[in-house]
Amino acid sequence: MYTPSLEKLSSELSRLPGIGPKTALRLSYFILRSPKDYVTALSEALVDVKNKVKLCEKCYSYTEQVLCRICLDPNRDNNLLCIVENPSDIPQIDSSGAFKGRYHVLHGVISPMEGISPRDLKIEPLFKRVQASKGTEDQINEVVLALDADLEGDTTALYIAKTLKTYDINVTRIAHGIPIGGDIDYIDHRTLGRALENRVQI
Ligand SMILES: [Zn+2]
């Protein structure tokens, strides 16, 4: 039996990505049957995440302090900066163990189709950050663009590279190609084309 409160909870939950009306209702009943302690902890966690999490003043990743954990880490290479689309990309790249530099989060990519221009992203702060480092011992010498291999990723990479090259620094982009264990027979033409463009000496 639905009640106004159950209906309200279901309708809010169904706005979450991947949650349809049926799942939303099932979750609502689960919450209703749960001990009050759990429901209080859940509602506090929801409010806390919104109130406490903010953007790092340096790299624009998420933090609950002024600067994030990575910006505060003294054991990272200040001369190397990796550009990512979202904060969630950072742990992905970090867990590869192949990157020990700093990060900068754009919070999206340029998309004329969706009306997203460079001004809607953290691109200007990136240019300022690179410029401000010039001549200091923490000078950024290389910017690595770790963006998706799609139209928006390509557009954004080109836009950033064009400006950064005028600052006389090395701009690179992560290679795209055949996944480890991948079979050439099953790779699409565009991926194979990109893999050939990005071929390396062995
Ligand atoms: Zn940071």
Could you list the pLDDT tens digit for every one of the 202 residues in the chain? 689 999 999 999 999 999 999 999 999 999 999 999 999 999 999 999 999 999 999 999 999 999 999 999 999 999 999 999 999 999 999 999 889 999 999 999 999 999 999 999 999 999 999 999 999 999 999 999 999 989 999 999 999 999 998 988 999 999 888 888 888 888 888 888 888 888 878 8
Tell me the residues surrounding ligand 1 (ion) with CB < 5 Å.
56, 58-59, 61, 68, 71
Residue 40 covered by a domain:
yes
DSSP designation for 140 = -
Count of structural domains within the chain? 2
Q: Is residue 145 part of a domain?
A: yes
- 57 Cα to the center of ligand 1, angstroms: 7
How many Å apart are CA 86 and CA 104, to the nearest integer?
9
| Contact by Cβ (8 Å): 102, 71 | yes
**Is 193 domain-assigned?**
no
In the numeric block, the tokens 């749960």 are attached to: 34
Q: How far is the CA of 70 from the centre of ligand 1 (A)?
A: 6
Cα-to-centroid distance, 76 and ligand 1 (Å): 12
Burial bucket for residue 74 (CB in 10 Å: 0-12, 13-18, 19+)? exposed
Cα(18) to ligand 1 centroid in Å equals 30
CA of 69 relative to ligand 1 center, distance in Å: 7
Q: How far is the CA of 59 from the centre of ligand 1 (A)?
A: 4
**pLDDT for res 1:** 65
Q: Which domain holds residue 88?
A: 74-175
Burial 127-162 (b: 16+ CB within 10 A, else e): eebbeebeeeeeebeebbbbbeeeebbbbbbebbee
Give the model's pLDDT for residue 120.
Answer: 96
* CA 199 to centroid of ligand 1, rounded, Å: 33
Could you tell me which of 141, 129, 134 has the C-alpha nearest to residue 58? 129
Domain co-membership, 114 together with 32: no
Q: Please give the distance, rounded to the nearest whole angstrom, from the Cα atom of residue 122 to the centre of ligand 1.
A: 13
What phi and psi, each to the nearest 5 degrees, are found at residue 41? -60, -40
CB of 147 closer than 8 Å to CB of 83: yes
Question: Rounded to the nearest whole angstrom, what is the distance from the C-alpha of residue 61 to the centroid of ligand 1?
Answer: 5
pTM for the predicted model, two decimal places: 0.83
Judgement on whether residues 30 and 90 belong to the same structural domain of the protein:
no
* 181 falls within a domain: no
111 φ, ψ (degrees, to nearest 5): -145, 95
* Strands of the chain, DSSP E: 54-55, 62-63, 77-84, 101-105, 142-145, 170-173
The radius of gyration of the chain's CA atoms, rounded to the nearest angstrom, is 22
pLDDT at 28: 97
Q: Are 133 and 79 in contact (CB under 8 A)?
A: no
pLDDT at 192: 87
Query: What is the Å distance from ligand 1's center to 106 Cα?
Result: 12
Q: What is the CATH number of the domain that holds 79?
A: 3.40.1360.10
Q: Are residues 92 and 168 in the same domain?
A: yes
